[in-house]
Amino acid sequence: MLALAGCKKDVVVAAPPTVSLEFEQTVGTDPLVLDTKTYNTLAGDQFTVNTFRQYISNIVFTKTDGSTYAVPDSYYLLDAAKPDNQHITLTGVPEGDYKGLTFTIGVDSLHNVSGAQKGALDPNNKMFWTWNSGYIFTKLEGSSPQSRTTALTFHVGGFQKPYNAVRTVSPAFQAGTTLLVRAGHNPEIHLNQDLQKMFSGPTTIRFGGTGSMIEIMSAGPNAMMMADNYAAGMFTVEHIHAN
């Protein structure tokens, strides 16, 4: 009996799974480089990006059986000047096989009016107008030789009708791909975030000439047009690492 007791083995418990979202910001096929690189819109206008920030929130995973899991309190600020912001690690995602991912670009109406908040929603992140106007969902600042002032300033937001710029997207997994969440494994979803899609899609946005747009500084019809553009294809799932 003593010999048997001495042979007792330690039980190894697999660590709970995590799911990571990795974002790569590009302009078309080119990596986003702040301040120094000049890009072209699909309409032919040139521009440089000095600042790019965007809120991602309300992340939901869909299983192959159609059931869903909503990640609680999922509010994140992607900032091109801070590489660490491009990696989001999610804990608590139930084990299972998942076929889809959905998230919001922006901040929902409840959190727009919830008073002072912390973390990604801290007003000190310079993504907040006022308690009446709420959060800036997407901020792009830069320059263009086609702009009459050379400056470009796009602060897209608004959560109240008729100018609700909150958008929900579901970038598709590649055909035949399933996100497998298992204990002891940490899969990564790699997503591309294409800034070129801010200026093309349902509406072509030009920086010079009649009908040009070089500034958005509040909620309104122009913010709606740009939100519709980037909701139409800004995010794509490049691949999934099983890990």
Cβ contacts of 38 within 8 Å, gap of 6 or more: 46, 47, 48
Q: Spell 226-237 as b/e; 16+ CB within 10 A means b.
A: bbebbbeebbeb
pTM for the predicted model, two decimal places: 0.91
Is the per-residue pLDDT at 86 higher than 60? yes
Query: What is the arithmetic mean of pLDDT over 89-113?
Result: 95
**54 falls in which pLDDT band (50, 70, 90)?**
very high
Is pLDDT of 18 > 70?
Answer: yes
What pLDDT was estimated at residue 17? 86
Q: Which residues contact 198 (CB under 8 A, 6 or more apart)?
A: 138, 140, 154, 205, 226, 229, 230, 234
Q: How confident is the model at residue 14 (pLDDT cuts 50, 70, 90)?
A: low
pLDDT at 7 over 60: no
Instruction: For residues 185-203, give the mean pLDDT.
Output: 95
Q: How large is the average pLDDT for residues 219-233?
A: 96
Taking phi first (over 0 means left), then psi (-120 to 50 degrees means alpha), and beta for anything else, what does residue 195 get? alpha
User: Would you state the pLDDT for residue 73?
Assistant: 94
- Rounded CA-CA distance 208/151 in Å is 11
pLDDT band at 1 (very low <50, low <70, confident <90, very high): very low
**Contact indicator for 138, 54 with CB cutoff of 8 Å:** yes
pLDDT of residue 113: 87
Residue with tokens 């939100």: 227
Give the model's pLDDT for residue 6.
54
Report pLDDT for 59: 98
Lowest mean pLDDT among 29-38, 57-66, 207-216, 219-228: 207-216
Q: Are 43 and 203 in contact (CB under 8 A)?
A: no
Q: Summarize pLDDT for 132-176 with one digit per residue, the tens.
A: 789 999 999 999 999 989 999 999 999 999 999 999 999 999 998
Amino acid at 140: L
pLDDT in tens, 21-31: 999 999 999 99
Q: Looking at the predicted structure, is the pLDDT value of residue 94 above 70?
A: yes
* Most trustworthy range by pLDDT among 10-24, 99-113, 128-142: 99-113
Q: What is the mean pLDDT of the chain?
A: 92
Q: Are 75 and 88 in contact (CB under 8 A)?
A: no
Query: Residue range 207-223: average pLDDT?
Result: 89
